[in-house]
Structure 1
């Protein structure tokens, strides 16, 4: 288990988003590359606000082409039927044999609300409360199925929440297995991690069942010597699109190791600027260095995403009464 000082197992994940990729093959290629480095999981974004393939459908196609890595699509809980969400996420867990997660997200735009015509846009805090209710309802639904028949392999597929914005933090603290935090400084990341762990305790959770990962955009194109001031050894730089690390794989390994050792985070979620190039350099450079230093796994000891994250399979809520109710 991860200690309160953050010196447990290091967790690493990567985004496999790509512009203008509309079939599963390019995503499968990146997922296999990430899997070769032993990463915990890959994410694929989705939104009502932009065109593109359905992330759940794409990763369901990627699942048979991978064997160990976790698969985490973004699932927008606003304007969607909870029963459809539950069935789709459970299906991903079945086809991946226990490697599914889902990144809960909300839709705050009036334009997106008009696409559905059901209701007007709502404040973010209300939508995040609703997202938590969807997560809770999904768990109860999955526990309503007999464990040996159709309950998802992990019991509950892993819940991921981007907790960068304050409105999302109570939902992350109460329901998430993994919280993502976009932070440009170690102090900023530490403060959010401490807040999330404190809120988890208030909700009656063991805070060691919540993994907090720092999210960074990474540009590994120019190597160590081309790092701009404020990048590389100096850490990420804040940009309009989020914290950006620009430099080489060696400095990135150093940053990851030092922030993790200091208890800043349980791990990192990295978004490559150029997907293929940067993910290759991440796996063959940064990850290889971390493995060499004994800071990251060289093989997957388990087969499910929960096992990668060091999280237990949730007990069946209705098992005590001897059946489903």
Structure 2
């Protein structure tokens, strides 16, 4: 392990728990629109000194959808609310480059970054669900490669808008009547393939310069975008070997963009099912699995693969499934999981219901810590995005059992290193493009 390297942790907040039936656990609370519960989860994560909390998003819904996603708050609004009830933990949110405009996203996230004093992060997604188009007055969802081309330009425009203001532009001199230093305000004047944006942004920079950029695509275009702009990468691998391969391949792409390996943190999703004994942990997992309703199997699998799965038997091995244009990496991951474990579609559905393709680990706090350490020291991960199967108990068990064990091993912090998310993650503050000539010694 390299000198000073420490684990990074995010809490993936899902108000009904991450297991599709986690809300049915006898000790579970639930509510994707229950702010008091979400606030409690964020504050528990902050008590544990986790790097960030993370809010996913979706632009469609259905009454037949999982309890965790059928309805939820607009996440940037929720992030702003969480900024007022936390003080140190990072605040990460998902927003689509396909169904927003750069100026809106730049302004919203810059506002949250200011409100939180430098704790915001943006999970850049291109939106995988074709159905979203019809919620935005569009007939068709853009092709996969076009969504990523748009995303690359979108992010560059947003970062340019975040550089509209140099640091400390306010003068507020009552005697001279000068309120701001106008020399520190800059127009963007971007003209590109997808966007024409004049600027400047009407929100100044936060202490961390820019919100941290997160990326979650694992396809070829997704990895290229991650290497180009990502500072944290959320991913999903089932085996140590697959995770190590992804880790080394992605980090190897950074030099072509002039980036250092330590400035991108790879954090797979991890769903821990924790018991006082190994037997108790397995019984808890089976208890959760017992609530899964097989009548949703076809709908769930069809949504995951974006292909009508009703032509296939649930009790036969997973077939070759045509690849849709919406999602690329996750269907490939699920098919590989089915092949590696010899799953039928029914068995695959039940595992997907547990963690949507992310790795499930059952065991005692010591065993969970062992797994995390193995992946960390083996360069399969820089940390993990923790996905409690039910809340708040699933998070409490991780925070009270696993985190102290990792701290005792010297693998995780006992106090925050600073006040901004960039300080937590050890990421540099971006140099404003308009002052870059004054900082030739910085990258």
2:235 match: 181
How far 1:25 sits from its partner (Å)? Answer: 2.2
Measured in 2, the distance between the counterparts of 1:295 and 1:59 equals 28
**Aligned partners of 2:247 and 2:379 also within 8 Å:** no
1:15 match: 12
How far 1:228 sits from its partner (Å)? Answer: 4.7
Decide whether aligned partners of structure 1 residues 120 and 320 sit closer, same or farther in structure 2, where only a CA change above 3 A counts.
same
Measured in 2, the distance between the counterparts of 1:220 and 1:59 equals 28
Measured in 1, the distance between the counterparts of 2:240 and 2:420 equals 30
Question: Alpha carbon RMSD of aligned pairs, Å?
Answer: 2.2
**Aligned partners of 2:233 and 2:266 also within 8 Å:** yes
How far 1:146 sits from its partner (Å)? Answer: 2.6
TM-score, with length taken from structure 1? 0.90
Q: Deviations over 1:74-129 (max 9, x none)?
A: 11221111111111111111111111101111223332101111462122232123
Q: Deviations over 1:263-305 (max 9, x none)?
A: 2211111111102111101110000111112111011120000
**Aligned partners of 2:244 and 2:378 also within 8 Å:** no
SS at match of 2:123: strand
1:75 is matched with which residue: 95, 103, 115?
95
Within the alignment, does 1:124 sit opposite 2:144 as a pair?
yes
Q: Deviations over 1:10-33 (max 9, x none)?
A: 111111111333143221110110
Deviates more, 1:16-25 or 1:305-314: 16-25
Q: How does 1:240-255 map to 2 (within 5 A)?
A: 240=352, 241-242=356-357, 243-255=359-371
SS at match of 2:222: helix
1:106 is matched with which residue: 110, 122, 126?
126
1:280 match: 396
Deviates more, 1:36-45 or 1:130-139: 130-139
Q: How does 1:202-281 map to 2 (within 5 A)?
A: 202-220=256-274, 223-228=277-282, 239-240=351-352, 241-242=356-357, 243-281=359-397
Q: Deviations over 1:164-209 (max 9, x none)?
A: 3444111111101001121111111111111111111122222221
SS at match of 1:272: coil
The alignment of Structure 1 onto Structure 2 pairs a total of residues equal to: 313
Q: Deviations over 1:208-251 (max 9, x none)?
A: 2111112122222675224559x9xxxxx983211222233221
1:86 is matched with which residue: 106, 125, 145?
106
TM-score, with length taken from structure 2? 0.67
Where does the alignment leave 5 or more consecutive residues of structure 2 unmatched?
Answer: 17-30, 62-70, 170-203, 286-340, 342-347, 439-443
Measured in 2, the distance between the counterparts of 1:103 and 1:282 equals 24
1:97 match: 117
